[in-house]
Amino acid sequence: MTEWRPKVSVVVPTYQRAQVLARALDSAVAQTYPDVEIVVVDDGSTDDTEAVVARYGERVRYVRQTNGGVSAARNRGIAVSTGELVAFLDSDDTWRDDKLALQVAYLAAHERVGLVLCDLFRSSGGVVRRMYRRETLPHDGQVLVWVLRDARLPPSTALVRRAVLDDVGGFDTTLRTAEDLDLHLRIAEKWEVGLVEEPLVVLHQEGADRLSLASSTYLDQMRVVRRFLSERAGRIDAELARASLFEHACACARGLAWEGELVAASRLLAEAARVARGPGEAALVGRLAVTVAASAGRRVARRARARRL
């Protein structure tokens, strides 16, 4: 039997990332998998992005477009590329050199799986932590029940069949952030999802120029979850939908509180309280409310000190 060796298209969206882009591209061109095309979609940068890409010659294709956001850039890359499989690499992330080889091998062995993910390292402030995807995806296959609880999908960890993107569509260009979460939900609804339990990606979060801005991400995440559940009302188990809304509201409220967005955090806690069931969920909302109140108190105290200076 002939070994399956599909072409993999690597889509690299970028905007004003000339200073880190080479690090990402070096990891892409170093892949041990033999049949790879790399497409950089420059979303209207005014820095030296084009010159950085030019150093790679024919190994990397450069496509420029008017600034339209990361979703539009990824969709453009999907449209101009030709691989049977598509991988996404954010321009400030890096891959282990066997990332594509291991994920292609997984898809070859699991013909019904449309999307395969992997573990990752998060690097921030000199601290590197491994993130285990099995904590949120306990098994491979039909995973919508788990994705509805935690739909986060770092795009750099994904390898997807083009047929899947043709089926469910690409990234939602109306979303400033959380576009990856939206795609993850739509794929998990119709296709099986798998996982390579190896840390094949490093997400570098040292700078303030991530494509996804934290506060916006939490608000867009709730928008995505509400829309997904609303459009499928009656088709998704009512208790699962309630639990999904509760868990995302709590998680996003916690994140917004950390970012200092206390009014938005309080609104999400009120939403979580409305759908909470049982003493455990009520207690969680209470603990988060205390956290938000404490954050508000510290902010008021800081402002008072500043006025006295």
Distance between CA atoms of 63 and 13, rounded to whole angstroms?
10
Mean pLDDT of the chain: 92
CB hemisphere CA count around 120 (13 angstroms): 22
- pLDDT band with cut points at 50, 70 and 90 for residue 260: confident
Closest residue by Cα to residue 199 from 100, 128, 118: 118
Tell me if residue 207 falls in helix, strand or coil: coil
Find the Cα–Cα–Cα–Cα dihedral 229, 231, 233, 238, rounded to 10°: -10
Residue 306, φ and ψ in degrees, nearest 5: -65, -35
- pLDDT band with cut points at 50, 70 and 90 for residue 97: very high
Domain boundaries along the sequence of the chain: 8-204, 214-308
Residues 6+ apart with CB under 8 A from 202: 93, 94, 95, 120, 121, 122, 123, 128
Closest residue by Cα to residue 221 from 192, 195, 201, 250: 250
Tell me if residue 123 falls in helix, strand or coil: strand
Give the global pTM: 0.90
**Residues 153 and 88 sit within 8 Å (Cβ to Cβ):** no
pLDDT score, position 208:
44
Q: Is pLDDT at 66 greater than 70 in this prediction? A: yes
Q: Is pLDDT at 289 greater than 70 in this prediction? A: yes
pLDDT score, position 152:
79
Q: Is pLDDT at 71 greater than 50 in this prediction? A: yes
Strands (E), 125-244: 127-131, 159-161, 192-204
Residue-wise pLDDT tens digits, 210-253: 444 567 889 999 999 999 999 999 999 999 999 999 999 999 99
Q: How far is CA 80 from CA 41, 90, 182, 217, 278, in A?
A: 10, 17, 22, 28, 51
More confident residue, 59 or 292: 59
Closest residue by Cα to residue 140 from 118, 155, 157: 118
Count the Cβ atoms, other than its own, within 10 Å of residue 10. Answer: 28
Give the architecture-level CATH label for domain 8-204.
Alpha-Beta Complex (3.90)
Q: Kindly state the DSSP code that residue 135 receives in the 8-state scheme.
A: G
Residue 222, φ and ψ in degrees, nearest 5: -65, -40
